[in-house]
């Protein structure tokens, strides 16, 4: 999943709530997670190829670049094409023991539904071979002091987490094993996998990436950023299980919402199906509820809700209201799991409302100067005019770069409305033989009634 920053929570981390931290182990860098982040870095997965923590990734590249042709890396590339990325990698990492053997037989359970038994078995066999061939043990030993310093730097964020809230709010009394794993190799991403061994406590993880460094090149784990992330990732470990158990109850409404908000979910946030989207929605609502329970003001709560609304979770306020309703009726609903049937009924109404909202959104009607997705645009073109199917309120603009990155974003000198706010004109500077991409989104492109533009991706290439 992508970096989830709740910057508007500045100040909330100063609340200083006292509590007994019941997480079993002190946060540490985990070799399994680092190993898999290295493997999929070598395989070319974009999410594991950042250079946020350059002092570390330079060490990784120096040691492992010679092994890019290893048969494991070639197989990992094949797995990537099958969808093994992001949290599917992290889930496999915690599914292995220190000897890189599965903690649960793959015939019984898999790290995620994107792994098959055959692929998982082959991957682990090749991973064990790679560990020896690439002298991974030597690499980890050489960096042990480095990892220990990373763990020390994470302590302030760790100590601010109210772990007992999760057990109280979700109603989980199983006393699961909770662990925070620090991952320099995850870069700007964070994950919340879990698994349930037979006849043993469930293992729940928050895997925290590293994306900010100080003047010495060592990581900075700011509480204002990392406390919300910890809450987010631990919430996943509760929420994902609940929705997996009750998938049939949410399938119809989930699919309808996903269809309406597919661009925001899949292209802007890499949430590839309705299940992932619903997990994210309930997790984000849980994060908001956590901070409400720890003193967030109405203004701060409102800002959090608006932030999630802008990400495409336009039903988030109703979802937060449902969590409040659940908590005020704990005699009837002792756990959030017991509330799932009631929540599924509300989701049907939410899905209808989201579909109605989607039908009212303005859309892009045409581009005046060229057809979208053309490869024959003159680099001498000075304007790009976008026509909408109805007038907008004309109070702002929101044009972002897309998933091809900032390097493909055209230079826009100015932008203004015309034709009674049914069009916008962008004065641009283009270069020859360039691929360009930009996305018009609804943050500021909206009607006077508040309906936001359905995201529209503009792609083109210039000639000489």
User: Which tokens belong to 74?
Assistant: 């070639």
Query: Which residue's entry shows tokens 């631990």?
Result: 234
With tokens 């049937």, the residue in question is: 341
Give me 267's structure tokens: 């292209």
Alpha helices in 294-376 (DSSP H): 298-310, 316-327, 340-360
pTM: 0.76
Q: Say if CB 373 and CB 276 are below 8 A apart.
A: no
Q: How far apart are the first and last CA of the chain?
A: 38
Is residue 182 within 8 A of residue 208, CB to CB? The reply is yes
d(CA 112, CA 85): 11
SS3 category, 90 = helix
What tokens does 402 get?
């897309």
The encoded tokens of residue 355 equal 């579909």
What CA dihedral angle connects 178, 338, 258 and 393, to 10 degrees? -100
* Cα 46 to Cα 81: distance, rounded to the nearest angstrom: 12
Fold of 364-461: Immunoglobulin-like (2.60.40)
Cα 195 from Cα 202, distance rounded (Å): 6
DSSP state of 264: I
Question: pLDDT tens digits, the chain, 464 residues: what are they?
Answer: 444 333 333 333 333 333 444 455 789 999 999 999 999 999 999 999 999 999 999 999 999 999 999 999 999 999 999 999 999 999 999 999 999 999 999 999 999 989 999 999 999 999 999 999 999 999 999 999 999 999 999 999 898 999 889 989 999 754 578 889 999 999 999 998 988 888 888 888 889 999 999 999 999 999 888 999 889 988 887 898 899 899 999 999 999 999 999 999 988 887 989 999 999 999 999 999 999 999 999 999 999 999 999 899 999 999 999 999 999 999 999 999 999 999 999 999 999 999 999 999 999 999 999 999 999 999 999 999 999 999 999 999 999 988 888 889 999 999 999 999 999 999 999 999 999 999 999 989 999 999 999 999 999 999 98
Domain ranges for the chain, please list them: 16-218, 246-360, 364-461
């Amino acid at each position: 999943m992508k970096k989830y920053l709740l910057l508007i929570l500045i100040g909330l981390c100063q609340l200083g709530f006292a509590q007994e931290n019941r997480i079993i182990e002190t946060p540490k860098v985990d070799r399994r997670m680092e190993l898999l982040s290295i493997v999929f870095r070598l395989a070319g997965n974009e999410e594991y190829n950042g250079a946020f923590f350059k002092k570390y990734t330079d060490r990784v590249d120096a040691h492992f670049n010679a092994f890019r042709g290893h048969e494991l890396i070639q197989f990992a590339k094949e797995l990537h094409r099958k969808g093994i990325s992001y949290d599917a990698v992290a889930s496999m990492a915690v599914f292995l023991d220190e000897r890189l053997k599965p903690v649960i037989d793959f015939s019984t359970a898999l790290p995620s539904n994107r792994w098959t038994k055959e692929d998982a078995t082959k991957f682990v066999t090749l991973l064990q071979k790679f560990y020896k061939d690439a002298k991974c043990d030597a690499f980890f030993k050489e960096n042990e002091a480095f990892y220990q310093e990373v763990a020390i730097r994470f302590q302030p964020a760790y100590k601010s987490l109210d772990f007992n809230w999760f057990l109280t709010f979700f109603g989980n009394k199983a006393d699961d094993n909770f662990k925070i794993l620090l991952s320099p190799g995850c870069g700007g991403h964070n994950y919340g996998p879990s698994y349930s061994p037979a006849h043993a406590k469930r293992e729940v993880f928050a895997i925290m990436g590293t994306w900010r460094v100080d003047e010495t090149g060592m990581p900075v784990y700011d509480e204002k950023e990392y406390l919300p992330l910890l809450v987010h990732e631990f919430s996943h470990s509760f929420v994902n299980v609940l929705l997996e158990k009750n998938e049939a109850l949410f399938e119809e409404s989930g699919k309808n919402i996903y269809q309406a908000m597919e661009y925001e979910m899949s292209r802007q946030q890499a949430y590839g199906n309705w299940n992932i989207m619903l997990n994210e929605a309930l997790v984000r609502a849980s994060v908001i509820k956590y901070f409400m329970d720890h003193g967030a003001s109405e203004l701060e709560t409102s800002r959090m809700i608006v932030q999630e609304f802008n990400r495409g979770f336009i039903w988030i306020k109703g979802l937060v209201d449902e969590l409040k309703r659940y908590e005020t009726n704990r005699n009837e609903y002792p756990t959030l799991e017991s509330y799932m049937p009631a929540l599924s009924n509300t989701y049907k109404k939410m899905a209808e409302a989201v579909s109605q909202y989607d039908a009212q959104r303005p859309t892009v009607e045409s581009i005046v100067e060229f057809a979208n997705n053309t490869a024959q645009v003159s680099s001498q073109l000075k304007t790009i005019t976008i026509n909408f199917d109805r007038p907008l309120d004309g109070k702002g603009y929101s044009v972002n770069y897309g998933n091809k990155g900032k390097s493909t974003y055209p230079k826009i000198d100015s932008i203004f409305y015309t034709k009674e706010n049914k069009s916008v004109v962008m004065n641009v500077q283009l270069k020859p033989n360039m691929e360009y991409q930009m996305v018009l989104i609804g943050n500021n492109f909206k009607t006077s009634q508040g309906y936001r533009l359905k995201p529209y991706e503009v792609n083109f290439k210039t000639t000489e």
